[in-house]
Amino acid sequence: MGIIILFMFGIYIMVSYGVAKIAYSIVEKERVFLLVFVGMLTFPFWDLMLQGVIKGYYETTGALEPKVYAYPEKDKDGRIESLSLAGILHVGKESLHENGIYNLSENIGYKKFKNHVEKSLHLSVYESNKKWEDFKIIKINLQKKRYNYTNKIDARFVFKSRKQNYFNLYEIDTYSLVDTKKDLVLGEYRKVRFLKYYATLRTEWLGFMTGNGRPMHYVSSPRSKGSSFDKLFSKLEIGEDSK
């Protein structure tokens, strides 16, 4: 595989050099020769370079840091009324038992919010044999310590999400925590995901592929330092690690 890649890329270098020489013979300027030659050599990797710039921007400018616009109402014990994390945090079906009994002592979301929510907490239920997005929802009554499946989210504080697609190259998911009683956005955080690599020339022609047929080179999606979800709730002073 490595020899084939070297051979194909060697041919591509010679083609690039030939095209650059043709360009030089037309305008007779060395700068044009260099621009064409370097441009030809780097063209198969243009998407990686662009994604690298995008990643650098989001990771160094603080654009992925959560933003807080208002603070939630709490009772005298410092608890919010009810919270839905459906679609945000999941529990395994094996943690749920019959008759509404649950064992969520090790679940991150439950441990984080059980003492900071007064009435109920909505969570998604993940089943290993189904797609991640095909989840069911449970409503945990924190006072009775029981759960039930539900199709309706009636929590006061809920997450709403929206997607923005940029040229099918990357996507921004924005998660906003909303006070439904006041119709007020309390805060939000964002995630950036790279969607597609324009790698046909790089993979099909030059052979830059792994043994399982995937692109050999890629840029991982931008990430913030630490969990944006945790940072948002920390700023809102909700949850175990907010104090």
Domain with 121, as residue range(s), is 68-189+233-242
Compute the distance between CA of residue 99 and CA of residue 229 in angstroms, rounded to an integer: 32
CB atoms under 10 Å from CB of 201, counted, come to: 14
Mean residue pLDDT across the chain: 85
**Predicted local confidence at residue 210, as pLDDT:** 58
As beta bridge partners, residue 90 has 124
What's the pLDDT at 174?
96
Q: How many domains does the chain have?
A: 1
Residue 116 clears pLDDT 90, i.e. is over it: yes
Task: Evaluate whether residue 53 is within a structural domain.
Answer: no
In a domain, 209, yes or no: no
State residue 119's pLDDT score: 94
Question: Percentage of residues in the chain with pLDDT exceeding 90?
Answer: 43
What is 162-226 written as a DSSP string?
Answer: EEEEETTTEEEEEEEEEETTTTEEEEEEEEEEE-----HIIIIIT--B-TTSSBS---PPP--SS
* Residues 63-115: tens digit of each pLDDT: 999 999 999 999 999 999 999 999 888 887 777 877 677 778 777 788 889 89
Mean pLDDT of 219-227: 88
Domain annotation covers residue 171: yes
pLDDT given at position 226: 85
In percent, how much of the chain has pLDDT > 70?
A: 84
Position 98, amino acid: E
Q: Is 119 within a domain?
A: yes
Residue 197 placed within a domain: no
pLDDT at 25 over 70: yes
Dihedral (C-alpha) 38, 44, 48, 50: value to the nearest 10 degrees? 60
- Residues near 169 by beta carbon (within 8 Å), at least 6 away in sequence: 47, 50, 51, 194, 195, 196, 198
Whether residue 130 has pLDDT greater than 70: no
Choose the most confident range, by mean pLDDT, from 15-24, 114-123, 191-200.
114-123
pLDDT (0 to 100) of residue 205: 65
Closest by CA position to 177, among listed 113, 91, 102, 104: 113
Q: Where are the alpha helices (DSSP H) in the chain?
A: 2-27, 30-42, 46-60, 108-113, 200, 228-235
Q: State the pLDDT at residue 97.
A: 79
| pLDDT tens-digit series, residues 161-196 | 999 999 888 999 999 999 999 999 999 999 999 987
What pTM was estimated for this model as a whole? Answer: 0.79
> Do the domain assignments include residue 26?
no
In a domain, 22, yes or no: no
Asked whether residue 35 is assigned to any structural domain, the reply reads: no
